[in-house]
Amino acid sequence: MELLPQALMDGIMLGAIYIIIAIGFSLVYGVMHVIDFAVGEWIMLGAFAGFYLTEWTHVEPMLLLPGVFVVFAAAGYLFQPLIHRVLSGHRGNPLLMGLVFTFGLGLMFRGLAQTFFGFYSHSIPSRFSNGSFFLQGGGFSTTVSSVRLAGLVYALAITGILHYLLKHTDFGLGVRALAQNRDAAGLMGVDNKRTSAFVYGIYVGISAMTGVLIGMILSLSAKMGPDFTIFAFFVVVLAGMGYLAGVPAAAFLLGIIQSFFLIYLDPGYTLLAVFAILYTILLVSPRGLFGKGV
């Protein structure tokens, strides 16, 4: 019981990171109908960008996040037409084609990263890494590292910005229209290609920034991508495919599960537990935790 508050706190901190990974993943699925299995590799590339920029400039990596976002958002914007071309050229099952294409893209990125960056693990040094806060009350106590707290603040900020963008701007109105009915949105004047390119660019930029934070909190390597792809997929399916509002609850659930296995049980069984829980929940509610997914 003494470790319970610490396990819950660590789970919340991990869940905050998973929210950002999965929210972009879910948004891209809702607008483009693509299950992007390259999400982990975008995170990995962003982590390496933060690592080398920090090493070369000696600037606090938190200050590099806006620059990383701009560069990767531009890359995602320019890359999206290729995905659109692949999907539009396959009339049989574009959803499956998108999954296969992005899976292959992830393999290519991972292979290139292993060639250029090597197989070793690294971490991104930050001034936040050494600080921590001690919280006590109600007979319980827990320690929160400054860098994990910064990750939580980042997650809340990005979630708030995306919520405002989707709910209170003309661009967000167009995104929601595309997600609901692409043909009707086109008739209302929404540019499908341009809006999808912007959405994919935003998603790639956010994923890359999250990679920098993961490199600060945990570690980074050329092989890190598949784990985060699996976690993003778990959160989005558990929340309900395309149902953004369910992502936070599913992400915090994943973070707490992972934290409990790290502290109380064998970390090697984390993925087994994750998919056992996912399988059980989907048996009861095939459309996710809240029954509102596709």
pLDDT tens, position by position, for the chain (294 residues)?
Answer: 566 777 787 788 888 888 888 888 888 888 888 888 889 999 999 999 999 999 999 898 889 999 999 999 999 999 888 887 877 766 666 677 878 888 888 999 999 999 999 888 888 988 877 766 666 665 666 777 778 888 888 888 988 898 898 888 888 888 888 877 777 777 777 778 888 889 999 999 999 999 999 998 888 999 998 888 988 888 888 888 777 778 888 888 888 888 877 777 776 777 787 778 878 877 887 777 777 666
Best CATH choice for the domain 4-284 from the list 1.10.1330, 2.60.40, 3.40.50, 1.10.3470: 1.10.3470
Distance between CA atoms of residues 183 and 161, nearest Å? 27
Whole-model pTM: value is 0.90
Confidence (pLDDT) at 210:
92
What amino acid is encoded at 273 in this protein? Answer: A
Q: Residue 81 has what pLDDT?
A: 85
Q: Which two tokens stand for residue 103?
A: 């899976």
User: Which tokens hold the place of 14?
Assistant: 């991990």
Q: What is the pLDDT of residue 30?
A: 81
pLDDT of residue 204: 94
- Are 208 and 68 in contact by the 8 Å Cβ rule? The answer is yes
H or E stretch covering 132: strand 132-137
Q: Quick one: pLDDT at residue 171?
A: 86
**What was the pLDDT predicted at 186?**
76
Question: What is residue 89's predicted lDDT score, i.e. its pLDDT?
Answer: 63
Angle in degrees, CA 14, 206, 174, rounded to 5: 120
Q: How far apart are CA 291 and CA 269, in angstroms?
A: 28
pLDDT at 211: 93
Paired tokens of 222 = 């050329």
Residue 224: which residues within 8 A CB-CB, separation 6 or more? 40, 43, 44, 47, 214
